[in-house]
Structure 1
């Protein structure tokens, strides 16, 4: 059974990245050195994220470069309220991508100091036979629907 999940972002902007995630998304630094920052966001389940200086020997030599091409999706209850909060906090590169017509829900996009795209989404609650996926804790859409939609692109 999975008991924890902690993505690690290799970065050349450790302090700037720490400030971004603590200011905009409520993470708290739980462990910090000159080359590593452990971040946590309380709740059930708790959410973790780590930042690692890309040049530090803790990273395998073949992977000692800043992160490239990563997208993180954060699910929120109220996308419009979250958008206002993020803009008020002064998020750099924020994109007002709220689209009420999106089949998966409303989205807003902000980019962290490393170029990591943060997609903040308010999923639409399913209706009809799709509600079974929510009751099983799988979110929306049902996994089989996601696969079909992905393959049809």
Structure 2
């Protein structure tokens, strides 16, 4: 049985990457060292590790994230988006928009190539709901 699951993102500059996630998502550090920072908000957890650290297999050290999309569900995506736009400190890659599959979201560029998708669930469009009416999420 899984007791915990959280992303650990490799970073070329751990303090800068940790500040990025803390500022964007309102997360607080729960453990900090020069090579690893763990962040938490409620039950959500995310960590950043030095991309060159010995705990990463040598073949993968120093690599940039490719194809990594960290989705973070928030209570009010509009408020987070407004803050991000007002501060102007995060590169907005996808503007705030509604998706027919039931998500209101925006995407910013994260450190070292990761993408951060900030979302709030919304009702899916009627067409989408009708198309997938028989689908059910997987259960244990």
TM range (shorter): 0.7 to 0.9
Q: Distance in 1 between matches of 2:125 and 2:85?
A: 32
Give the paired residue count: 130
Distance 1:9 1:49 in 2: 8
Which residues of structure 2 form unaligned runs of 5+?
130-134
RMSD: 2.4
Whole-angstrom distance in 2 between the partners of 1:142 and 1:54? 38
Greater Cα offset, 86-95 or 27-36: 86-95
- Map 1:32-43 to 2 at 5 A: 32-41=32-41, 43=42
**Counterpart residue number, 2:58:** 61
Between Structure 1 and Structure 2, which shows a larger proportion of strand residues?
2
How does 1:16-27 map onto structure 2 within 5 Å?
Answer: 16-27=16-27
- Whether the 8 Å CA contact 2:100–2:125 is kept in 1: the answer is no
Q: Secondary structure at the match of 1:114?
A: helix
Asked if structure 1 preserves the Cα contact closer than 8 Å seen for 2:102 and 2:124, the reply is: no
Secondary structure of the residue aligned to 1:100 is strand
Residue aligning to 1:15: 15
> TM-score of the superposition, structure 1-length normalised?
0.73
Distance 1:19 1:101, change over 3 A: closer
